[in-house]
Amino acid sequence: MTRVACIGECMIELKQAEGGLFSRGYGGDTLNTAVYLARLGVEVDYITALGVDPMSDEMLAGWAAEGVGTSRVARLKGKLPGIYLIQTDEFGDRRFFHWRDNSAARSLMDLSETDDILESLATYDVVYLSAITLSIYSVPGRTKLIDALNCARKHGARIVFDTNFRARGWPDPDVARAVFDEAFAASDIVLASMEDLLPLYPDESDEQLMRRIPSSEAALKLLEPGSIVRFEGVSREVSAEPVPQPVVDTTAAGDSFSAAYIATRLEGAEPAEAAQAGHRLGGVVVGYPGAIIPRSAMPAKILPDRKASR
């Protein structure tokens, strides 16, 4: 069975509830993708670091209940998970407030078991990470991870990079652009969006942004519903289906897109079909508050009929 590794950070999530109160859950871009991958039937492990505390225990139990593997999660005494708070407006657009400077996940590249964890990447069929993943590590830590990705590729793993960009995670745009270039070069598939890339490359067109991505396969989500998919030199525009319900919260719309895209590609579908599946799942996710929708809300059908060859 195809195995996927997702690398990143999961945080305690506080989201708006009734009466000015907040409900508590958990989320993080690559963890959200891992959960949706598992729900779509993909064997997936999450690679991160957590503390030795009740909140971390709760996270691990929750991931295991979702079918996400936790054997590569490091546990650190004296560390805790980070926290983020989601504030949404009447249109479902969200703002994030983070408390994560000393979170356990930031130490993942600096542990005695780091080398073993990085060597294990070569045993997976797909390794998925995001720009947020790269932003939480030190410069030497990022170098270690990029080197490990290149090594994993030599052993046959496909690297998928999501351009999820949050300016507050980077010291300045020049550093982010340099790291993006390294990540692009180390990736087989890039899942990007205009929303992520325009702050780094202002005023560039979708064609210009796509030219910055050297991988043979890339999907660029547009500012209007839809995307452009490029595969082996051929580009195609993909329209998104109308969202079936009012938009409540856009958190994890991109993370679920990535999960459906990867799962559909692993089923043998063409990239355009994978993008359609991504838009379909993302359109459901935005109808619910928080990063992870109830399992009962998962659509019965995300993957397309197998009529097309890869």
Q: Is 151 exposed, middle or buried (0-12, 13-18, 19+ CB in 10 A)?
A: middle
Q: Which of 27, 31, 40 is nearest to 274 (CA)?
A: 40
* Ordered DSSP codes for 18-52: GGG-EEEEEE-HHHHHHHHHHHTT-EEEEEEEEES
**CA 281 to the chain's CA centroid:** 14
| Other CB atoms within 10 A of residue 43 CB | 16
Q: Are the beta carbons of 11 and 84 closer than 8 angstroms? A: yes
Q: Which of 93, 249, 255, 305 is catalytic?
A: 255
- Helices 173-185 and 139-154, axial angle in degrees (round to 10): 10
Angle at the Cα of 194 (from 193 to 195), degrees rounded to 5? 90
Please indicate whether residue 255 is annotated as part of the active site: yes
Q: How far apart are CA 29 and CA 164, in angstroms?
A: 8
Q: How far apart are CA 47 and CA 216, in angstroms?
A: 26
Please give the positions annotated as active site.
255
